[in-house]
Amino acid sequence: MAKTYTPEEIADMNIQYSPRTSVPDAEDYLAKNAEMSAAVREKLDGTLDIAFGESEGQKLDVFPAAKANSPVHLFIHGGYWRALDKSFYSHTAAPLVVAGATVVVVNYDLCPKVRVTDIVEQMRRSLVWTYKNVSDHNGDPNRIHLSGHSAGGHLNGMMIATDWQAFAGLQNDLIKSSVLLSGLFDIVPHRFLDVQADIHLTEDEATAMSPMFKPPIAKSNVILGVGENEPHLFHWQSLAYAAHLRTHGVKAEYISTPGDNHFSITDRLANGDDFLTKMLISQMGL
């Protein structure tokens, strides 16, 4: 039976699942991210806008480690599948490159131009491209680690649930670890929310594209972080998904980051001394 919600529940979810409503100065955070990221692109040696697919959105930036055969970290941006791009998140690369990793920051086409299903497919292609090409950028294709924020956390979850052997003939332990920040793992409710005007989820698609309902193929460690001050439904998403992963034998750790909202949590990844960034670096064995 299809899930239904009362008008009161829908009104509440529209508020809780709208980060720009719960964070009135969200644009200030994004402007700061864009400024920090532009500075990082000026400072770091990197190759920008590499095509991994045919459409305009399928591009990525690579910031290489200083040494060959270094671990690889791939970051997937958020924006509710309909906004933002990789240029807001280059700042996440700086401390990871300093620590000794090659960093890949990925773009994708946005809704309503494409569907969520298409974006998931594009992210799979980006990982295949990374596996096949990252050695040219000092990365070790056998040590690929992921992170994602918000909708990017959802997309990371779908990568965890991907059968890489069936998709591209790659090993199913392709993903060595994941850090999912403020992620969405059951996207069925979003069919009933304002965002539906852009994402056009069908009932079947919402279920098929929800990591919460798919067994994890990758069994590597997962960290799920949510800002302390985010609405409780974002905490529920990560707590429930952590339980789902643990049920399937995946080590999953949930963290509520002190004082953070939906946007400030990614600021931590620009600081090599932050505890969350240190956890991410540690996952890569650095």
Query: Structural domain boundaries of the chain?
Result: 7-283
Number of separate helices (H) and strands (E) present in the chain: 11, 8
138 half-sphere exposure, CB direction, 13 A CA radius = 16
Tell me, what's the pLDDT at 1? 55
pLDDT tens by residue, 190-232 = 999 999 999 999 999 999 999 999 999 999 999 999 999 999 9
> String of b and e for 74-94 (b: at least 16 CB within 10 Å)?
bbbbbbbbbebebbbbbbbbb
Dump pLDDT digits (tens) for 81-116: 999 999 999 999 999 999 999 999 999 999 999 999
Amino acid at 247: T
H helices of 44-194, in order, are: 93-99, 116-133, 151-160, 164-168
CA–CA separation, 137 and 44 (whole Å): 13
Taking 60 as the threshold, does the pLDDT of residue 161 lie above it?
yes
Whether CATH 3.40.50.1820 fits 7-283: yes
Mean pLDDT of all residues belonging to the chain: 97
pLDDT exceeds 80 at position 2: no
Nearest to 153 by CA among 52, 35, 255: 255
CA distance 224 to 216: 15
Confidence at residue 169, expressed as pLDDT on a 0 to 100 scale? 98
Give the global pTM: 0.97
What is the pLDDT, as a whole number, of residue 273? 97
Tokens describing residue 167: 């998709």
Contact predicate 21/73, CB 8 Å: no
Closest to 209 in 3D by CA, of 186, 189, 192:
186
Place of tokens 């292609």: 125
